[in-house]
Structure 1
Amino acid sequence: MTKANRGRVLIVAGSDSGGGAGIQADIKTVTALGGYAMTAITALTIQDTLGVHGIVDIPSEAVTRQMAVCLDDIGADAVKTGMLHSVDTVDAVLAGLDRASAPNLLVVDPVMVAKGGTSLTTDATVEALRTRLIPRASVITPNLPEASVLLGRPVTHIGDMDRAAFDLLALGCGAVLLKGGHLDGELLRDVLVVPEGLVYFDDPRIATTSTHGTGCTLASAIATGLAQGLDLVAAVKRARAYVRRALATAPGLGQGHGPLNHGHTVQPFGL
C-alpha cells in the first residue's frame, strides 16, 4: 500500500436526511480531515434538528454487499460503524468484516439514541453489539447513556467513568473512549482506556445547542486518524480538536439541536 492510499474509511451507518449526523456527518468529517469516505448505508432516517420522524430499513444483504464491493475494489484502511438498528444488520456487518479484504482497524460507535431522544435500536441488537461486534473493535466510543445500556447500570457521574471504561474494555475490544458530554457542569471529560491504563481529556464545555451528530463526527474523525497511520492517542487528540472547533463555529441552523461546522478545515475556491 502506498502512502497516498492511506486514509480510506468505510462507514457503515444510517443516513440522516438533515445532514447533521449519520452517514452525512461521517462523509464530511473524513473528507475534511483528508481521508476518503465510502459508505454502506444501514437505514434511512427521516430526520431533522428536531428529531427522528421515521426509519426505513435497508435489507441486510444490501448492507453486506455495499461493504463487499467497496472493500474488494477500493479497499479500506479502517471501518467505522454507527447506527446498527437490528440484529440482522449486525449480522450483515459481521459478514462484511469477515471478508479477506476487510482491514483490522474497526471503530464502533454504539449509536442507540438520537439527540432528540428517539431509540434507534432494540434490546436484542444491544446484546448482539455487546457480545459479537464490540469484541472485534479496535476502539469503541460510547457516551454515558450508551455505556449505561451496555453495562446494565447507570453511568452518570465523573466518578463512575474510570470503572465503567475498564468494564467496557472487558467486553473484549482493544480500547474504549468513554465520552463525558452528558456530565453536568462546565468540565467535560473523556476517558480513554487501553490495556496499559487511562488517558484523560479535560476541556471546558462549549455553550451551544448545535450538538447534533457530535458522536458520529468524533468517531469518524478517530477512524480517519487511525486510517492515516496515527496512533490511538494522537488520533483521539486530533479528532477532539476537530470536533471542538466544529462546535465553536457551528452555523446555527435549524430549530432544535443544530449541526456542526464540519467544513471548518476547508478553504473554498474563489472566495
Structure 2
Amino acid sequence: MIPNILTIAGSDPSGGAGIQADIKAISANGGYAMSVITALTAQNTRGVQAVSLCDTALIATQLASLREDVRIDAIKIGMLGDAAIIETVAERLTGLDCPVVLDPVMVAKGGDRLLAEAAVTALHSLLPRADLITPNLPEAADLLGCAEATSFDQMRDQAHALREIGPRAVLLKGGHLQGDQSPDLLVTAQEELWLDAPRIATRNTHGTGCTLSSALATWLGAGVPLAEATQRAKAYLSAAIAAADRLTVGSGHGPVHHFHAFQEKKK
C-alpha cells in the first residue's frame, strides 16, 4: 500500500523547505503527498523577505475537504505561524487516528522568526496530540524557555523535559552541536536511542528539518515502527545532504537533493 501523507505547513517558493520540500521527501520515500498550506512566504536561499499567514477559515476548510474524501495515513505538521492557526489545526485533527509528526518550525535558518513568540504557549497545547516531535536544539530551548543544549547530557535532559509536556516521543536533533558528528536522540517512554551520522561539509542544508520530519511521517504512515522509521529517515536525509552539492540553487543556504537516489539509478 502506498501511504497517503498529509503535510500541514507553509510554502517556500525556492523549493528547499516547507510544503515543497515536504512533498519531495514524501514522494522520494514512497508516499503519496497531500498538503494544507498555512502560510505564503517570500524567501530564497539567503533569507525570508515576507510572510503572509493564511486565513484560519481556509485552513479549516482545506482540512475538512481532505477528511471528507481521502484516507490519511500520517500527518506531518510544520510552520503554523500564530496561535489562531495552531488552535485551528488542533481542532480539525480531532478524531483522526493516524501518526502525527510535529516539526516545531519557529525560526528559519537565516534567523527570521516563523512562529510568533506569543504563540509558543499555544504550541504547547498541540504537543500532546503528536506521536513525535522533531525540534532542533534552538527550537527545544525556545519551547522549554531555557538555554540551548551544548552537550549530550543537556540534550538528554531537554529531550526528556519535552516528552513530559505530552508528545509520545521526541527526536531531538543535535546538528547545532560542535564536532564531526551530527547526533540525534530519540526518546520514548521505553527507550533512548542515539542516532549518529558524520557531519557533511556543505552549506546546502536548507530545509533539512522539513525533509527529515516528512520522511519520518511517510515511514510511520507505511506502518514501520518508530525506531526503524527514524533510522530510515535519517539515512535518507544524510544521503540527500551528501548529494546536495550536485545542485546549483541560489547563493546562500541551498536545498538538499531530495531525489538523489532516482538520478543515481538513471546513470
- Of 106, 121, 126, the match for 1:112: 106
Cα deviation per residue 1:174-207 (whole Å; 9 max; x = unaligned)? 0000000111121211000000121001122011
**CA displacement at 1:254 relative to structure 2:** 1.1
CA–CA distance in 1 between the matches of 2:266 and 2:234?
30
Choose which of 151, 160, 165 in structure 1 pairs with 2:159: 165
- In the superposition, the TM-score normalised over structure 2's length comes to 0.95
Tell me the equivalent position of 1:196: 190
Where does 1:103-142 land on structure 2 (aligned, <5 Å)?
103-130=97-124, 132-142=125-135
1:258 aligns with 2:251: no
1:26 aligned partner: 22
| Distance in 2 of aligned mates of 1:128 and 1:29 | 28
Tell whether the 8 Å contact from 2:7 to 2:77 is kept in structure 1 after alignment. yes
- The one-character-per-residue Cα deviations of 1:94-120 (angstroms, maximum 9, x if unpaired) are 12202x4x2331100000000111001
Is contact 1:252-1:259 (8 Å) kept?
no
- Find the aligned partners of 2:47 and 2:263 in 1 and give their Cα distance: 31
Tell me the amino acid that sits aligned with residue 219 of structure 1.
S
Contact 2:72–2:98 (Cα < 8 Å) also in 1: no
Distance 1:49 1:264 in 2: 20
Q: What residue ranges of structure 1 are gaps of 5+ in the alignment?
A: none
AA matched with 1:119: R
SS at the partner of 1:203? Answer: coil
Q: Secondary structure at the match of 2:35?
A: strand
1:232 aligns to 2:226 (yes or no): yes
Instruction: Please list every run of at least 4 consecutive aligned residues from structure 1 whose deviation after the TM superposition is greater than 4 angstroms.
Output: 267-271
Deviation sequence 1:140-171 (CA, Å, 0-9, x none): 00000000001111133123101111000000
Deviation at 1:218, TM superposition (A): 0.2
Of residues 145, 156, 171 in structure 2, which corresponds to 1:152? 145
Deviation at 1:125, TM superposition (A): 1.2
Sequence identity percentage: 47
| CA distance, structure 1, for counterparts of residue 98 and residue 177 of structure 2 | 33
Q: Which amino acid aligns with 2:60?
A: T
SS in 2 for 1:187: coil
* Aligned residue number for residue 72 of structure 1: 68
Shift of 1:38: 0.5
Q: Please say if 1:222 is aligned against 2:236.
A: no
Aligned residues: 264
Change (3 A) 1:157 1:261: same
Contiguous gaps of at least 5 residues in structure 2: none
Per-residue Cα deviation, 1:197-255 (whole angstroms, up to 9, x for no partner): 21001122011100000000000000000000100011110100110010000114211
Using structure 1 for the length normalisation, give the TM-score: 0.94
1:7-61 per-position Cα deviation (integer Å, ceiling 9, x unaligned)? 1111000000100000000000000111011100000010100000101121011
Q: CA deviation at 1:265?
A: 2.6
- The separation in 2 between residues aligned to 1:241 and 1:18, in whole angstroms, is 24
Alpha carbon RMSD of aligned pairs, Å? 1.5
State the partner residue of 2:7: 11
Moved more, 134-143 or 155-164: 155-164
CA contact (8 A) 1:210 1:252 kept: no
